[in-house]
Amino acid sequence: MIYVNARFLTQPITGVQRYSIEISKALNKLVPNVVFLAPNNIIHPELAKELNVKVIGKRSGHLWEQLDLPRYLKSVNSPLLVNLANTAPLFYKNKVSTLHDIAFVRYPESFSRSFRYSYQLAIPFILRSSKKVITVSEFSKQEICDVYQVAKDKVSVIYNAVSDVFNENTLSPVSSDTEEKYIMAVSSINKQKNFHGLIEAFNLLNQTSHQLYIIGSINKNFADPELINAIDKDPRIKLLGRVSDEELTNLYAGASAFVYPSFYEGFGIPPLEAQACGCPVVVSNVASLPEVCGDSALYCAPDNIEDIANKIQMMISDKDLRSDFIEKGYQNINKYSWEASAAKLNALIQEI
């Protein structure tokens, strides 16, 4: 019997939770003897029902993960525990743990002090006490091995993919020339994601044909009040907050371009989502993004505001270029599959 730590079902869905959910759904179809364990404060009941989640313990959050979860596992003969969302029980050794990236080390200013300190204390211990470590790109694997001195053969790369809801066959019609034109960005809103640079580049365009839509919520762990002030000052910029997957799908489909000028990404799911919806992408030429996007994106230097602006201008003004990158985007997403990633995870489990 394989057990999965499903505390991610108690958290809002960002990239880490998306990975955990989709890998779990695919693994559940692939493997008959998998059990998902979660505390009782689940906020995604439909997913919990699909995964047939077993609710255990009385606590929630980190206390549930560190106390209730390992206590239950020991009562059922200490089986292998798969952790998919960065954290794991510190003192339970029969486990596989996933670390998506080390942004909290490379860009500590993007995180609250409490979040940063808790990860800096816990992550080295989790890595040492896990039988295997999973991460989401070769870039992140190198980062983890370099910073924490983890042997390369202990770390396996299991990629993200695009969720079914973003399949282009389910989309509403793309916006016509008479409707509002916009470029868009999707991410957690913090300094690491370089929204400051995006807004400055958008201002350099000095145009009125397009608005800028920013989709993402403000998380207390990723605070950046200066950025919110910059957004509020420009009426052409719309901060839409968190939206449903269905709304996000149609926003991708109607955008002239998707822009992702991040300084640091362990993988970066949003560019793939945009590509699946027929939206051409402009992304940073750093971190994992060249690995993930290959030749399917127009690259910009994230620390060069003029370059970001120029690449946006190229994408929204050249129809042939847009068409070329739309087609390349469709080809790129075919390289990634949740089913293939779940199969790789299952192979790793069987090896252990």
pLDDT digits (tens, 9 = 90+) for 75-102: 999 999 999 999 999 999 999 999 999 9
pLDDT number for residue 174: 45
Architecture of domain 2-161+337-351 in CATH?
3-Layer(aba) Sandwich (3.40)
Task: Copy the structure tokens of residue 301.
Answer: 């230097």
CA 255 to chain centre: 20
Kindly report, as residue ranges, where domains of CATH 3.40.50.2000 are found in the chain. Answer: 2-161+337-351, 164-333
Can you tell me the distance from the alpha carbon of 218 to that of 45, in angstroms, rounded to the nearest whole number?
23
Q: Give the chain's mean pLDDT.
A: 93
Rounded to the nearest 10 degrees, how much is the dihedral formed by the CA atoms of 305, 306, 312, 313? Answer: 150
Torsion-angle region of 81 (φ positive above 0: left; ψ -120 to 50: alpha; else: beta): beta
Question: For residue 272, which of 186, 178, 150 has the smallest C-alpha distance?
Answer: 186
Which range has the worst mean pLDDT, 173-187, 260-274, 314-328?
173-187
Phi, psi at residue 347, to the nearest 5°? -65, -40
DSSP 8-state assignment for residue 152: G
Architecture of domain 164-333 in CATH?
3-Layer(aba) Sandwich (3.40)
pLDDT number for residue 224: 60
Residues pairing with 4 in the sheet? 36, 82
Report pLDDT digits (tens) over 191-227. Answer: 789 998 999 999 999 788 999 999 987 655 555 667 7
Residues pairing with 132 in the sheet? 96
pTM: 0.93
pLDDT number for residue 225: 66
Can you tell me the distance from the alpha carbon of 99 to that of 286, in angstroms, rounded to the nearest whole number?
19
Residue 142 pLDDT grade (very low, low, confident, very high; cuts 50, 70, 90): very high
CA 207 to chain centre: 31
Could you tell me which residues come within 8 angstroms of residue 192 by beta carbon, excluding any fewer than 6 positions away?
103, 106, 107, 110, 262, 263, 264
Can you tell me the distance from the alpha carbon of 94 to that of 72, in angstroms, rounded to the nearest whole number?
13
Does residue 171 have a pLDDT over 50?
no
pLDDT number for residue 221: 52
